[in-house]
Structure 1
Amino acid sequence: METSKGLPVFELVMLLFFTVGAILEIISFSIYRNSRNLIENGIETKGIVIDLHRLKPREYPLAPSIRYIKRDGTAHVFHSSEGRNPPEYQIGEEVTLYYDPKDPDNVHLKGNYLFVYVFAGMGAVFWLFSIWYVGSAVKAIFQWIFG
């Protein structure tokens, strides 16, 4: 009679790392796809940075607040949720942006793919540590479950 092996902890951790990496890559691709969709189907316009605001009290990364004129002639202010240290934009700077006419707070600043890079980079790190073990991890877990 065969003795059962213990829980394959290392293999489970490697499979978890691979899964987390895949989720982060999917998030990155989704953000990129939504930005590209807004660029292709949204309205391009120019805006002026009117303020730099903190995302959290007493934290330095500053995000821009941008005033732009919608196609119907009304002014709208977009408060970005992407802060940087040092700030990427200066007050008074003109920027190109794309907005959704149905949702003017859905804005993409031209050339701004920070979140895409952050999520893709984190996903790549998780994959870097796990990709070499995925096949053997799946095999070990399968054998552990089904004997």
Structure 2
Amino acid sequence: MEFEVQARGRATRRFIAIILIALGVIFLVLGLVLAGASASFLSDAKRTRGSVVSLEWREDDHGENHPPAAYPVVEFTSADGMPRRFQSSTGSNPPSYEKGERVEVLYRADSPEDARINGFASLWLLPLIFGGTGLLMSAGGTAVAMARRWSSRRTRIQTPAT
């Protein structure tokens, strides 16, 4: 009976370790892909100055306990002389920007509607979140797997041969 419980516990720990490592690798790869996309965007982005013309307050789908976040709406003039406007994909509370604030804008010359504020959050926050989560999950899964191995090795050493 005791052996069955131990075997079931080992199988559960092994399953948890495999799931954590697999999910960690998926999140880590996604973080790296997002970081690559940001690096690619930066490599051929045009730079210009823009102004925050308004703050769009939105409630995210995180439940009732989260206050609304302010997403800056930025206006700039692209290299072709056309005025452009975009809303940042990154919001915060308190707001990171104020109405009328001048910001550096990055945009693709062949697609000026693909624009971002040149800031850490808009370029690197998602890669950092996904990559960091992936590293933590993989490390946790590896720790569970290693603890399982150490435990089984200790049991083999302490169990006398029959």
Gap regions ≥5 residues in structure 1 = 138-147
Structure 1 residue 80 displacement after superposition: 1.3
1:11 aligns with 2:19: no
Task: Tell me which amino acid in the other structure corresponds to 1:110.
Answer: N
Q: Provide the TM-score with structure 2 as the length reference.
A: 0.70
- Larger fraction in helix: 2
Task: Tell me which amino acid in the other structure corresponds to 2:142.
Answer: I
Is this contact kept in 2: 1:14–1:130, CA < 8 A?
A: yes
1:84 aligns with 2:92: yes
Q: Provide the TM-score with structure 1 as the length reference.
A: 0.76
Structure 1 residue 37 displacement after superposition: 1.2
What SS is found at the alignment partner of 1:8?
A: helix
Map residues 1-147 of structure 1 onto 2, 5 A cutoff. Answer: 8-56=11-59, 59-112=67-120, 113-134=124-145
Task: Tell me which amino acid in the other structure corresponds to 2:110.
Answer: K
In percent, how many aligned pairs have the same letter? Answer: 21
Identify if the C-alpha distance between structure 1 residues 55 and 105 changes in structure 2 by more than 3 Å, giving closer, same or farther. farther
Report Cα offsets for 1:39-72 as digits up to 9, x if no partner: 1112111111111113437941111111111110
Give the number of equivalent residue pairs. 134
Gap regions ≥5 residues in structure 2 = 1-6, 149-162
2: CA distance between counterparts of 1:88 and 1:95?
A: 11
Identify if the C-alpha distance between structure 1 residues 56 and 104 changes in structure 2 by more than 3 Å, giving closer, same or farther. farther
Is this contact kept in 2: 1:39–1:108, CA < 8 A?
A: no
1: CA distance between counterparts of 2:30 and 2:39?
A: 14
2: CA distance between counterparts of 1:16 and 1:69?
A: 48
Q: CA RMSD in A?
A: 2.6
Structure 1 residue 134 displacement after superposition: 4.8
2: CA distance between counterparts of 1:134 and 1:66?
A: 49
Identify if the C-alpha distance between structure 1 residues 136 and 41 changes in structure 2 by more than 3 Å, giving closer, same or farther. same
Structure 1 residue 116 displacement after superposition: 2.1
Is this contact kept in 2: 1:18–1:134, CA < 8 A?
A: no
Structure 1 residue 106 displacement after superposition: 2.2
- Greater C-alpha radius of gyration: 2
